[in-house]
Amino acid sequence: MSYMESFETIVKDQLARVKRLAETSELTDYSKLDKIIIGTIDGDGIGPIIMDSCRKILEKLLADELAAGKIEIREIPGLTLENRIAKMETVPADVLAAIKECHVLLKGPTTTPGKGDNLPNIESANVTLRRELDLFANVRPVVIPEKNIDWIFYRENTEGEYALGSRGVDINDDISIDFKVTTTLGTTRLARAAFEYAKANGNKNVSIVTKANIMKKTDGKFLSLCYDVAKDYPEIKTDDWYVDIMAANLVNDQINSNFNVVILPNLYGDIITDEAAQIQGGVGTAGSANVGGRYAMFEAIHGSAPRMIADGIGEYANPSSISRAAVMMLRHIGYSEKAAQLEAALDKAQKALDLPGDGTGNTASDFTDFVTENL
């Protein structure tokens, strides 16, 4: 296929996607479900270790609900790099079908082959799941009480550079081109979700992050659409920042507590939220939510840490991030009291245990035992 034909195919696919977006789906009302099915996926590297910890904690926390049949925790195998390569599918069809039988998904980290890994060019499993399940909003809270920081980031999940990251083209030996996409429906629904959250939670500030001075079409459209949505929320102060300036603002203690809700396109959101998590205490301590209309996925925001496995220190992996994601999941499905109970136990664990992940200190098993004992 020539590069012109590749580009034409991409455009046709995106036009078809916009048409599908226009077909709105109903939001899941978890309170009306007889049983909520929580799918769990181990993933790669340290994923099975931290997910085993999280499952044991949830089984203790939700023992009554599990016994009564109100909740089911269902393990979904097969989303490993080896299986994906063997089948040459980013998310194997049988795995995707099993995921779609669940209401929410708790997912461990998965490995995406890099340029120098000498492996097939398989797209990120996360990117595929976000697209297939239409999980349009990646939501990451960062709270640092001692610094008066209470941030929540709304990152667009299905568009931008990542949506087409594996579909770039080599024009010739000298030129390679990747693509970026921004749509009206995709941006508007993200912005509205962020403003609705701000309105419901008493947040007074919403900040939009782009590079619209350079990326005038895609980022310019994103910025303009967010401001259009802001008109429906006159009680909320709205401002915008370039992504490089926002990166600096987050580490500026004189102003960083002024930010509340932040809306970002896909790539910038990935970078800025990792920076924010590091400010909080490291990406290993934070969870994230990926929310759509019908489905929602909750995950650790760190990688699969293959070096820990190669070095034989996987047992020292820190399960905090996936457990924090479980807190967000519990709130999402309406179990706020259980979420608060788990969060309190995790806060105690963070203060009491030493989990540097370098083969010293406490192990994942120590973490599991401590949290279950303090529920």
Instruction: Name all domains of the chain by residue range, CATH numbers in brackets.
Output: 33-134+292-375 (3.40.718.10), 136-282 (3.40.718.10)
- 127 vs 130: CA distance, rounded Å: 5
Q: Residue 277: what pLDDT? A: 85
Query: Is the separation of the CB atoms in 194 and 260 below 8 Å?
Result: no
Q: Are 330 and 340 in contact (CB under 8 A)?
A: no
287 forms beta bridges with 300
Helix (H) or strand (E) holding 219: helix 218-230
In this structure, the number of other CB atoms found within 10 A of the CB of residue 160 comes to 26
Residues forming a β-bridge with 262: 153, 207
What are the tokens at 368? 């599991």
Residues 93, 98, 104, 105, CA torsion sign: negative
CB neighbourhood size of 62 (10 A)? 21
Q: What's the CA gap between 136 and 193, in Å, rounded? A: 10
pLDDT value for 4 = 81
Predicted confidence at residue 18, as pLDDT, reads 80
* pLDDT at res. 22: 77
The full length of the chain comes to: 375
Find the radius of gyration of the CA atoms of the chain: 21
Whole-angstrom Cα distance, residue 372 to residue 375? Answer: 5
d(C-alpha 149, C-alpha 147), whole Å: 5
Looking at residue 260, its pLDDT comes to: 94
Closest CA to 288 of 127, 160, 144, 154: 154
What pLDDT was estimated at residue 24?
A: 63
Q: What is the pLDDT along the chain (375 residues), one digit of tens a residue?
A: 687 888 888 888 888 888 887 776 567 889 899 999 999 999 999 999 999 999 999 999 999 999 999 999 999 999 999 999 999 999 999 999 999 999 999 999 999 887 767 778 788 898 889 889 989 999 988 888 889 999 999 999 889 887 776 677 888 889 888 888 899 999 999 999 899 888 887 878 999 999 999 999 999 999 999 999 999 999 999 999 999 999 999 999 999 999 999 999 999 999 999 899 888 876 556 678 999 888 999 998 788 999 999 999 999 999 999 999 999 999 889 898 999 999 999 999 989 999 999 999 999 999 999 999 999
pLDDT attached to residue 25: 58
Going by C-alpha positions, the residue among 292, 291, 360, 280 that lies closest to residue 320 is: 280
pLDDT, residue 283, reads: 59
Contact present, 201 and 232 (Cβ < 8 Å): no
Q: How far apart are CA 14 and CA 7, in angstroms?
A: 11
| Contact in structure between 104 and 39 (CB atoms under 8 Å) | yes
Residue 15: CB partners within 8 Å, gap ≥ 6? none
pTM for this entry: 0.77
List of residues 6+ apart from 196 with CB closer than 8 A: none
Quote the pLDDT of residue 362.
Answer: 97
